[in-house]
């Protein structure tokens, strides 16, 4: 886990809440980016004060070697509340900001994009995908260039995206 990657995820606008998982299995939620600090040695997470959520009432200091993953806090249907709790209702819109945050997860986890018409695409290389305010662009790897950018791509308008979820991988629960 690199400090620069976490700092980039904290700067996504609008902010997408994050979950930090440590090597001992402890998880922390980041619901207020202004209460987090990234340094070269550690990630500092402030706990929001119940009486004033813009102030921290306590803090946890995590050294980078103890951090296993930092990921957007999303449900199986790809949605998230601003307070970091996940929503489990169907039919919620997938946003460009949420997909952008999923593409910046380090280490990257492949994604499955399902459209409202049932078409499914897999995102296995984040650098071949772009989430803009208007469309989701997914390029397909060129098999002759060892995984580089090919000439084949699809442009998808956001209302046509039903859900974005992690692909199931061996040893990783989705």
Which residues have C-beta within 8 Å of that of residue 8, sequence separation ≥ 6?
Answer: 104
pLDDT tens by residue, 5-36? 888 888 877 788 888 999 999 999 998 888 89
- Same domain membership, residue 166 and residue 95: yes
Residue 82 lies in a domain: no
Host domain of residue 1? 1-73
Give the separation between CA 40 and CA 78, rounded to whole angstroms.
31
- Same domain membership, residue 36 and residue 111: no
- Same domain membership, residue 118 and residue 40: no
Residue range 145-163: mean pLDDT, rounded: 79
Tally the domains of the chain.
2
Q: How far apart are the first and last CA of the chain?
A: 20
Pick from 16, 45, 73: which residue ends a domain? Answer: 73
Q: How confident is the model at residue 16, as a pLDDT?
A: 81
Is pLDDT of 103 > 80?
A: yes
- Same domain membership, residue 161 and residue 108: yes
pTM exceeds 0.85, yes or no: no
Query: Can you name the residues that pair with 131 across neighbouring β-strands?
Result: 136
The helix/strand/coil state of 100 is helix
Give the separation between CA 60 and CA 26, rounded to whole angstroms.
12
Q: What is the CATH number of the domain that holds 34?
A: 2.30.30.100
Q: How confident is the model at residue 91, as a pLDDT?
A: 39
- Same domain membership, residue 167 and residue 96: yes
Q: What is the CATH number of the domain that holds 111?
A: 2.30.30
Residue 121 lies in a domain: yes
């Amino acid at each position: 886990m690199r400090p620069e990657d976490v700092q980039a995820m904290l700067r996504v606008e609008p902010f997408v809440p994050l979950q930090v998982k440590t090597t001992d299995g402890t998880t922390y939620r980041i619901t207020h980016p202004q209460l987090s600090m990234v340094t070269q040695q550690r990630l500092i997470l402030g706990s929001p004060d119940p009486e004033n959520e813009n102030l921290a009432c306590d803090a946890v200091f995590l050294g980078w070697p103890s951090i296993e993953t930092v990921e957007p806090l999303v449900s199986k249907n790809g949605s998230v509340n601003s307070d970091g709790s996940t929503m489990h209702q169907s039919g919620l819109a997938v946003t460009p900001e949420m997909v952008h945050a999923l593409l910046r997860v380090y280490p990257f986890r492949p994604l499955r994009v399902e459209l409202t018409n049932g078409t499914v695409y897999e995102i296995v290389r984040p650098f071949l995908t772009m989430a803009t305010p208007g469309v989701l662009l997914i390029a397909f790897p060129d098999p002759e260039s060892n995984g580089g950018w090919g000439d084949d791509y699809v442009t998808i308008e956001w209302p046509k995206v039903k859900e974005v979820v992690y692909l199931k991988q061996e040893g990783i629960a989705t």
